Chain A
Amino acid sequence: MSLSAFEWRPAGVDALTLVFGEQMDGTVWARLLGLYRHLDEHPLPGIIEVIPSYTTLYVRFDPGTHTHEALARTLGILADRATHTADAPGPLVEIPVWYDPRVGPDLERIAREHGISIDEVIAIHSEREYRVYAIGFAPGFGYLGEVDRRIATPRLATPRLKIPAGSVALANTQTAVYPSESPGGWNLLGRTFVTMFDPDRKDASLLHPGDRVRFVPISYEAYRDGGGEV
């Protein structure tokens, strides 16, 4: 029943927060993603914005079309129907990465702190398939998880003022690619030549919530041939 899918709360006079759980876990997130996908593929009239995150789904609506109560009821029914799509794996996005201290200035420190080699850091980071849990901070910046605890590393105490676009980074058990040059406090492992966000492209963001992501280690030559810069 819809009772178990989520609890709803007003996020504002024209918005709802659907709370699927108190803690991040696979079941909670799969349900949340199922409803998000359903609304993405079959938009409801009067829905202005739907944003998924780890435990909540945000829905902004036209208050001339919906009330909080009635919309929450409708979404509860849709959430029940959407459960069968929840477990369907998202598209796999492969991101080629040149892992190297020249573009990944924190590689050596991460290896040292965990008592492993740089090659092991690279192998551990690139062997796993990640999921895009949420996108935020900047357009196209996907929060990917979960990173293997053997390389999990807290954010820098002092963020860098300038991180180049395409930088592949990790913070605790999350990993991400910086889509554009920006300040940031995540640990840098390497860089990709892939454009993560381009507002003029048909699909502006390479990543979408629910996608699967795999990082593929490449050589300097392949990075350079792909258009990468040092």
Chain B
Amino acid sequence: MNGVKILRPGMLSLIEDGGRPGYGAIGITPGGPADRYSARWANHLLGNRPEAPVVEITLGGMVFEALGDLRIALTGAEAPLTINGDPRPLWHTHTLARGDRIEIGMAARGLRLYLAAEGGWRCSRVLGSCAVTVREQLGRPLEAGDLLEASSPAGKRLSAFVPEQLQRTFPSKITLRILESYHHARFSAKARERFYAQRFRVTTATDRMGCRLSGEAIDYPGEIISEPTTLGAVQIPADGQPIVLMAEHQTIGGYPIIGTVLPCDLDRLAQAQPGSRVRFSLISLVEARQLAFPAANCPPRCSKVKSSTIS
């Protein structure tokens, strides 16, 4: 079998693909990789489609054994990777032979790693996707003993890597560009000023559903009539501490939304460890469009996924 056997799954390792957009009307979250930039690069390195199934490994700590010949790539957070004890680079393809032992250590910087295999990992689909959403009981995290099969055997491709300037960096201070929400008029001028002026701190209460920040409280303008939410929306709950909605966000919410973070900046937030400092910078819809789409126009460290600069 062109696959691997999981010996140690790590704290939380999930198969993710493009997720389940289109099922929001029956309450299903879109899901998918928290850091799409890194996941797409892992697939790109192997010639896969951008949303082929990858394993999202939170904080590292995974060990697996190759059961046959296959090619893999690992991107995302900065963690030591060894094959049979030899250190190997991330953001790089690696060809494995049967019996190879692969160890991914704990992430020193960043939060999530993405493990792709040539052809994508084979998996069964539910509602059009194999994305695991633990909260919705759709799939489950990987466990020791699980077998993962690559959809294609290692081909004759040359090895490929992502140029260093396009690899993720993990600054301790990040700026998230944000589009103003139409709820903004509900917030007082003081609340808005406070929101944009300060650096919030990423808290430990952060998961695939939402990233909770802490800072000087933003005045709560009161509940809204529940309405659908979107990826990157920044909710202000009653305690005034912002919550940024991530890949597995709830589909409907009753907290006012101050703005929506640009998708490529959200990918960077998905790698921000607790304690990182975050500030928000307002941009216009026109600017946001130019930055976000097409993907190739995005500046480095954003989403320059489609530009083929690999060797």
Q: A12 near B231 (CB under 8 angstroms)?
A: yes
Is the Cβ of B126 less than 8 Å from the Cβ of A200?
yes
Nearest Cβ on chain A to B291's Cβ, whole angstroms: 8
- Is there contact, CB below 8 Å, between A60 and B21? yes
Residues on the B chain within 8 Å of A140, using CB: 26-27
The answer to whether A136 touches B252, judged by C-beta atoms less than 8 angstroms apart, is yes
Q: Residue-by-residue, is B161-199 near A (CB-CB < 8 Å gives 1, otherwise 0)? A: 000000000000000000101100000000000000000
Establish whether residues B230 and A199, one from each chain, have CB atoms under 8 Å apart when the complex forms: no
Specify which chain A residues have a CB less than 8 angstroms from the CB of B262 in the assembled complex.
13
Do residues B27 and A12 form an inter-chain contact, with CB atoms below 8 A? no
Question: Separation in Å of the A184 CB from the closest CB of chain B?
Answer: 14
Q: Within 8 Å CB of A13, what residues of B?
A: 179, 260, 262-263, 285, 288-289, 292-293
- Are A139 and B293 in touch, CB under 8 angstroms? no
Q: A48 at the A/B interface (Cβ < 8 Å)?
A: yes
- Establish whether residues A63 and B182, one from each chain, have CB atoms under 8 Å apart when the complex forms: no
Q: Is the CB of B27 within 8 A of A136?
A: yes
Question: In the bound complex, what is the Cα–Cα distance between A24 and B251 (angstroms)?
Answer: 19
B311 within 8 A of A: no
Which one of A57, A197, A199 has the greatest number of beta carbons of chain B within 10 Å?
A199
Is residue B127 contacting chain A, with contact meaning CB distance below 8 A? yes
- Asked if A11 lies at the interface with its beta carbon under 8 angstroms from chain B, I say yes
Answer yes or no: B53 CB below 8 A from chain A CBs.
no
B181: chain A residues at CB < 8 Å are: 9, 11
B129 vs chain A, min Cβ distance (A): 10
Within 8 A of B (CB), among A189-215: 197, 199-200, 204-205, 207-209
Q: Is the CB of B25 within 8 A of A50?
A: yes
In the complex, chain A residues whose CB is within 8 Å of the CB of B23: 139, 204
Most buried by A among B30, B182, B233: B182
**B25 partner, pick from A11, A51, A64, A68, beta carbons under 8 A:** A51
Q: Which residue from chain A places its CB closest to the CB of B226 in the assembled complex?
A: A53
The answer to whether A119 has its CB under 8 Å from any CB of chain B is no
Cβ-defined partner of B227 (8 Å) among A12, A55, A137: A55
User: Shortest beta-carbon distance, B19 to chain A, in Å?
Assistant: 11
Neighbouring A residues of B227 by C-beta, 8 Å: 17, 53-56, 58
Residues of B within 8 A of A67 (CB): 289
Taking a contact as CB atoms under 8 Å apart, the answer to whether B228 and A51 are in contact is yes
Kindly list chain A residues whose C-beta atoms are within 8 Å of the C-beta of B228: 11, 17, 51-53, 56-58, 136
Give the residue among B26, B138, B227 with the most A Cβ atoms within 10 A: B26
User: If A10-B285, A13-B289, A136-B251 touch, does A51 touch B24 (CB 8 Å cutoff)?
Assistant: yes
CB within 8 Å of B: which of A136-181? 136-141, 143, 180
CB distance from A1 to the nearest CB of B (A): 21
Residue among A48, A64, A136, A208 making CB contact with B250, cutoff 8 Å:
A136
Q: Is B136 part of the binding interface, using a Cβ–Cβ cutoff of 8 Å? A: yes
> Are A10 and B179 in contact (CB-based, < 8 A)?
yes
Cα(A17)–Cα(B230), bound, Å? 10
Q: Does B275 reach chain A (CB closer than 8 Å)? A: no
Residues of A within 8 A of B102 (CB): none
Chain B residues positioned under 8 Å from A12 (CB to CB): 179, 230-233, 260, 263
Q: Residue A40 at the B interface, CB < 8 A?
A: yes
Q: Does B225 touch A at the CB level, under 8 Å?
A: yes
Are B179 and A138 in contact (CB-based, < 8 A)? Answer: no
Task: Please report the C-alpha to C-alpha distance between residue A200 and residue B138 in the assembled complex, in whole angstroms.
Answer: 10
- A64 and B294 contacting across the interface, CB-CB below 8 Å: yes
Q: List residues 51-109 of chain A with CB under 8 A from any CB of chain B.
A: 51-58, 60, 63-64, 67-68
Q: Which residues of A contact B127 (CB under 8 A)?
A: 199, 204
Q: Is A111 an interface position by the 8 A CB rule?
A: no
A19 in contact (CB, < 8 A) = yes
Does the CB pair B233–A139 fall under 8 Å? no
- What's the least CB distance linking B231 to chain A, in Å? 7
In the bound complex, what is the Cα–Cα distance between A58 and B24 (angstroms)? 10
The 8 Å CB contact of B293, one of A36, A64, A180, is A64
B26: A residues at CB distance < 8 A: 135, 139-140, 197, 204-205, 207-208
Asked whether any CB of chain A lies closer than 8 Å to the CB of B308, the reply is no
- A10: chain B residues at CB < 8 Å are 179, 182, 260, 285
Across the A-B interface, the 10 shortest Cβ-Cβ residue pairs: A136-B252, A58-B228, A9-B182, A205-B26, A51-B228, A12-B260, A51-B24, A135-B27, A56-B227, A63-B293
Other than A49-B21, A199-B138, give 17 A-B pairs with Cβ distance below 8 A. Answer: A10-B260, A11-B260, A12-B233, A48-B21, A49-B30, A53-B225, A53-B228, A55-B227, A57-B228, A67-B289, A134-B252, A135-B27, A135-B252, A180-B137, A200-B126, A204-B26, A208-B25
